[in-house]
């Protein structure tokens, strides 16, 4: 059973760029909070952000409601898991959704920006559908992909997994529009780790 550790519905004043506890992974900032959703103003460049309010357990899940205008795979908006906590280190799992005709849900492992494709799924994507990634295990990691709570295909095994890291959001370029909303992340233990620092979203 999964337990929510952090969430953000983005229902607050606009932010340009996203404010703490959201932290940019790469140099070029592109994510803004506009009209209670997150949008990217650099639609031709991949962009990733991690949520730094706490250190997440290695066994984790992350999900968000994704709207996207893109007919190209693997471009799209999505979620990030086990992201390195070092600025400009693009090491993470990245799961994105688009409206491409095929392979429009794509799971990659990025290690220092070098991308390895782990899985693709072909589904009908409707704006506002919830994209979810679950990861468990260390020596060999098991990853599961979900759309609106329904698992897409078989489990994915990664024999060279990233060990741990933070959860977040992303855009894999290039898209022409879209947004991210109702983000959450957690684990499967039932325990609630201590926060890194107190921070209350208004």
199 compared with 140, residue with greater pLDDT: 140
Taking only the tens place, the pLDDT of each residue in 67-113 is: 999 888 889 999 999 999 887 789 999 999 999 999 999 999 999 98
What is the predicted pLDDT for the residue at 86?
81
* The token pair that represents 59 in the structure block: 């066994």
Residue 1 included in any domain: no
Residue 85 included in any domain: yes
- 30-49: buried (b, 16+ CB within 10 Å) or exposed (e) per residue? bbebeeebbbbeebeebbbb
For residue 38, the domain's CATH number is 2.60.120.560
Residue 90 included in any domain: yes
Residue 193 included in any domain: no
Residue 202 included in any domain: no
Among 1-5, 67-71, 177-181, 192-196, the least confident range: 192-196
d(CA 123, CA 125): 6
Q: Which domain holds residue 175?
A: 12-181
pTM attached to this predicted model: 0.91
88 compared with 15, residue with greater pLDDT: 15
pLDDT band at 196; cut points 50, 70, 90: very low
Residue 160 included in any domain: yes
Mean predicted confidence (pLDDT) in 59-72: 95
- DSSP annotation of 15 reads B
Residue 192 included in any domain: no
Residue 31 included in any domain: yes
Place of tokens 């990025």: 110
d(CA 62, CA 99): 21
* The token pair that represents 141 in the structure block: 């990691």
Taking only the tens place, the pLDDT of each residue in 116-168 is: 999 999 999 999 999 999 999 999 999 999 999 999 999 999 999 999 999 99
Task: Give the mean pLDDT of the chain.
Answer: 91
* The token pair that represents 47 in the structure block: 């962009």
What is the predicted pLDDT for the residue at 190?
63
Give me the number of domains the chain comprises: 1
């Amino acid at each position: 059973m999964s337990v929510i550790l952090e969430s953000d519905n983005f229902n607050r004043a606009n932010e340009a760029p996203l404010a703490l506890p959201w932290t940019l992974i790469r140099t070029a900032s592109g994510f803004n909070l506009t009209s209670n959703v997150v949008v990217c103003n650099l639609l031709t460049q991949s962009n990733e952000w991690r949520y730094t309010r706490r250190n997440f357990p290695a066994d984790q899940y992350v999900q968000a409601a994704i709207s996207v205008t893109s007919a190209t795979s693997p471009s799209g908006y999505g979620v990030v898991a086990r992201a390195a906590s070092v600025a400009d280190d693009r090491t993470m799992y990245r799961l994105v959704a688009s409206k491409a005709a095929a392979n429009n849900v794509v799971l990659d492992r990025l290690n220092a920006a070098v991308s390895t494709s782990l899985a693709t799924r072909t589904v009908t994507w409707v704006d506002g559908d919830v994209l979810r990634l679950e990861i468990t295990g260390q020596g060999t990691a098991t990853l599961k992909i979900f759309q609106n709570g329904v698992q897409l295909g078989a489990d994915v095994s990664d024999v060279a997994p990233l060990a741990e890291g933070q959860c977040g959001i992303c855009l894999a370029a290039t898209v022409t529009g879209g947004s991210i909303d109702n983000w959450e992340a957690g684990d499967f233990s039932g325990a609630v780790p201590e926060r890194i620092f107190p921070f209350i979203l208004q």
